[in-house]
Amino acid sequence: MPDANPLLVTTSRGSITENRHTGAFAIVDADGAIRAACGDIARPVLPRSSVKMLQALPLMESGAAASARLTDEQLALACASHEGAPLHIDRVAAWLGAMGLDDSALLCGPQPPRDRAMKAARVPPSRLLNNCSGKHTGFLTYARHIGAPLGAYLDPDGRVQRDVARAFVETTACDAPPAYGIDGCSAPNFIAPLSGIAHAMALFADPSAQGPARRAAMIRLRDAMRENPLLISGEGRACAALIGASDGRAIVKTGADGVYTGIIPERGIGFCLKIDDGNRAAAEALCAALLVSQGVLDDAHPVTARYARTPLRNFNDEIIGERRVHLPA
């Protein structure tokens, strides 16, 4: 239950604590050893979009990405929760076009743009603008490569999602077949213990014990994300800001409803966190604090202050409170 987890993030106004956010996190190495943890890390969670790199493993391991000559930018988009800015949708449209498809092939559903300029231009909702359109184009690329029906690539019992589930089970060491919920983009989202998801991220950080195909896939996907932070999120988004502020020493990925994952290659560790009430700002704050705790983000960096010690301002631009992370000693 949520009240079993400790208080990790608060917001205050003056001396008054206004919001309290409980949660859990696990930092794990590639051998599965817990380096640090807090809260109930055995509780299964829906990782949402924080594990898109796991969902892209079949695309890589099958040879589909190589056959389609996918670039690192396209691989970053396959792992993205993007803003629907031109730099995102133009690339996704070109990727679809190279397959002789258009956005009618995407099963993710239409979404309004989140990019400010696109909002100001009153661009109508579309499937291309869906923040998961890159992931879905990756699913289509894989489906075509293996000869699966393009119109059924989201079927939980179909070949594409069964292969995604297999990769998820193998990397998180969760039960097979895993339970799932349907994500906002209509794709199955498989469930696993928070510690298992953290272990999967650690395998991306240190894939040396994996077979050749998986090792190569993990390295290329994580490096594509590291080199293209704006493609996996967008201007002003926490993922891009934190990857940039860490000088690429950490690769982080948000998921809806208070989830974040992180990959830290130089230390061979990965992490997963979940804020119980699903608050995005609290999850971003905790993610930044964990990066500081692991020595890959400077505590004095402006991005750290922006997320982990966020000042709350009123309309007169006066600081009237703050958001703060409370890590256990």
Measured CA to CA, the distance from residue 253 to residue 225 in angstroms comes to 9
Residue 2: per-residue pLDDT:
47
Is residue 1 over pLDDT 50? no
Q: Residue 251: is its pLDDT beyond 70?
A: yes
Q: Determine the pLDDT at residue 97.
A: 98
Average pLDDT (24-31) is: 98
- Predicted confidence (pLDDT) per residue in 280-323, tens digit: 999 999 999 999 999 999 999 999 999 998 899 999 999 999 99
Provide the pLDDT confidence category of residue 87 given band limits of 50, 70 and 90. Answer: very high
* Average pLDDT of span 263-289: 97
Distance CA 254, CA 257 (A): 9
CB 16 within 8 A of CB 3: no
Mean pLDDT, all residues of the chain? 96
CATH number at residue 90: 3.40.710
Phi, psi of 23 (to 5 degrees): 175, -165
Question: Residue 77: how many CB atoms within 10 A of its CB?
Answer: 29
Predicted confidence at residue 82, as pLDDT, reads: 97
Domain tally, the chain: 1
Residue 3 has pLDDT above 60, yes or no: no
Q: Over 50: is that where the pLDDT of 110 sits? A: yes
The whole-number average pLDDT for the span 225-232 is 98
Q: Are 323 and 281 in contact (CB under 8 A)?
A: yes
- Taking 60 as the threshold, does the pLDDT of residue 69 lie above it? yes
Residue 316 belongs to what domain range? 2-325
Return the pLDDT at 309: 87
Contact (CB, 8 A) for 218 and 78: no
Per-residue pLDDT reduced to its tens digit, 128-181: 999 999 999 999 999 999 999 999 999 999 999 999 999 999 999 998 889 999
Listed range (26-30, 54-58, 88-92, 119-123) with the worst mean pLDDT: 119-123
